[in-house]
Amino acid sequence: MTTTSDPQAPTLRPDAVGFLDTFVIGLAATSPAYSLAAVLGPIVALVGVHAPGVLLASFVPMLLIAGAFAALNRVDPDCGTTFSWVTRALGPWAGWIGGWAIAMTGVLVLGSLAEVGVRFTLLAAGLDGWADSTPVVMGLSVLLVVVMAAVCVRGTELSARLQNGLIVAQTVALAVFAVVALVRGLRGTSPLGGLTPQWSWLDPFGSGGAALSGGLLLGVFAYWGWESAVNLTEETRDPQRAPGRAGIWSTVALLGTYLGVATAVLAFAGTGWLAGNADEEEAVFALLSTRVLGGWDWVVLLAVATSAIASTQTTIIPASRTGLSMARRAALPRRFAAVSPVHRTPDVSTWWVAGIGVAWYVGVGLVSENALYDSITGLSLLIALYYALTGLACAVYFRRRLFSSVRDLLVLGVGPLAGAAMLGWLLVLSVRDLADAENSYTGQAWLGVGPPLVIGVGVMAAGVVLMLWWRQRDARFWQERASAYPG
């Protein structure tokens, strides 16, 4: 394989962070408290008490794909992750699309994460009037994106220190909420009745196939983001092993968090209240916090706020470093490969990600808040696509090693392919479900189908157009050839 990297160009700062830092960043990038607040109500509405089981089932493809990330990172520790690996295994066309999908997921969700962080911070501070003001929330959200981008540019070490503080605040707040909710549910002191936890709740098939597929789509979104740990591979000590391990352990930590909180919430609130408030999205926790903690409800609001703020920053990491990796190999304009000589971070691509994310958030938000929510829903298409591509690339990349041992066959072949197949299936289901306008926030069809599908497909179509245009300008990247691992 050939690349167009300039050996004289500044590089990202090596050994800037360690395993624990990348683990925290991978965990924070999923925004656990916000993700739970957003998906728990809708999942319960679909599958009832089997919500913990659906979250458990959603973990399986994530773990398999995390294993593929770890395996590929060991042989190619490139900050572009999916872009670099898919290019090597499947060729430049598939690699470019994978890179585009990663970058655009960050752009589409960045402003919305900042808005949740701002809104819940205001609610925790008792400033409900400000939280209900669109100009105030939008202005503060834009400011938060700019601040988080500046932190990313200032240095990965600073980013890690900030994330360490935010994850502690988020974890403690979630733990307090879950313990109190579970205890009150078991004691029968919940004003909502509650339920006694059962092992059968862990059965994802108890609610039927149709409900399960819808729940899995939501569950995959809840786990999305852990790969931010692997995007830091060029800045991590022990770059060939630590980032991949951090990604795997992030998914495991998420599983424990999600099962614990989901069980506690069901024990306290039961299914009726959660299903009845499913359309409130992340506000479910805001509504539930007072009932669980009384005057200490700010603890839960703080958990969601710190979760979203942390994810606002960590979401910039994979998009900016993917842009850097693509530009180094002439898949994007060279200026995106710029690295700050002082801070040793991808400053140009970071500010571009922040700028486009703000433009999307403000532009779509001014048109319709529901359209903004629909754009987030459309993320499921891009997420499933690049995760599935990574799993497929792992099996193809290591194809010469698959039958050298049972472990290689399972870890490098069967596991990644199974994860890719599951996500491919979910991708098809996403297209089917998002085609129905009734499943959207706007409730109105665009071009005869649901707005989330139009947005998701439109983003990918824009990527194809951009790819073809850039290939006409500079075809060097497309001269690369797919190559299997030689070992």
Pick from 71-80, 126-135, 286-295, 458-467: least confident: 286-295
Give pLDDT, residue 93. Answer: 95
Q: Which residues of 61-89 are buried (b: 16+ CB within 10 A; e: fewer)?
A: bbbbbbbbbbbbbeebbbbbbbbbbbbbb
Give pLDDT, residue 208. Answer: 65
pLDDT band of 1, cuts 50, 70, 90: very low
Structural domain containing residue 147? 19-475
Does any domain span residue 359?
Answer: yes
Q: What is the pLDDT averaged over residues 235-248? A: 92
Domains held by the chain: number: 1
Give pLDDT, residue 176. Answer: 87
Cβ(206)–Cβ(200) below 8 Å = yes
More confident residue, 419 or 176: 419
Tokens 């692997």 map to which residue? 230
Residue 251 has pLDDT above 70, yes or no: yes
Does any domain span residue 154?
Answer: yes
pLDDT band of 307, cuts 50, 70, 90: confident
CATH code of 258's domain: 1.20.1740.10
Cβ(202)–Cβ(56) below 8 Å = yes
The residues, any chain, with a CB within 8 Å of residue 21's CB and separated by 6 or more, are: 160, 163, 164, 236
Alpha helices in 91-208 (DSSP H): 92-124, 128-131, 134-154, 156-187
Does any domain span residue 329?
Answer: yes
Closest to 74 in 3D by CA, of 236, 217, 251: 236
Q: Which residues of 403-440 are buried (b: 16+ CB within 10 A; e: fewer)?
A: eeeeebbebbbebbbbbbebbbebbebbbebbbebebb
Residue 86 has pLDDT above 90, yes or no: yes
Cβ(289)–Cβ(177) below 8 Å = yes
Between helix 369-377 and helix 92-124 the angle, nearest 10°, is 130
Give 441's DSSP letter.
S
CA distance 301 to 312: 17
More confident residue, 41 or 254: 254
Residue 281 has pLDDT above 80, yes or no: no
Q: What is the pLDDT averaged over residues 405-421? A: 95
* DSSP of 268-287: HHTTHHHHHTGGGTTHHHHH
Give pLDDT, residue 484. Answer: 46
Does any domain span residue 180?
Answer: yes
Chain-centre distance for alpha carbon 200:
29
Residue 485 has pLDDT above 60, yes or no: no
Give pLDDT, residue 2. Answer: 38
Does any domain span residue 4?
Answer: no
More confident residue, 144 or 46: 144
- Give me the chain's average pLDDT, please: 87
Q: What is the pLDDT averaged over residues 115-123? A: 91
Cβ(483)–Cβ(474) below 8 Å = no
CA distance 36 to 128: 22
pLDDT band of 56, cuts 50, 70, 90: very high
User: For 214-240, how does the pLDDT look when each residue is reduced to its tens digit (9 = 90+)?
Assistant: 778 788 888 988 999 999 999 999 999
Does any domain span residue 302?
Answer: yes
Chain-centre distance for alpha carbon 477:
28
Residue 28 has pLDDT above 50, yes or no: yes
Give pLDDT, residue 259. Answer: 94
Q: What is the pLDDT averaged over residues 81-86? A: 96
CA distance 153 to 459: 26
User: For 334-356, how does the pLDDT look when each residue is reduced to its tens digit (9 = 90+)?
Assistant: 999 999 888 899 999 999 999 99
Q: Which residues of 331-365 are buried (b: 16+ CB within 10 A; e: fewer)?
A: bbeeebbbbbeebbbbbbbbbbbbebbbebbbebb
Does any domain span residue 484?
Answer: no
Does any domain span residue 52?
Answer: yes
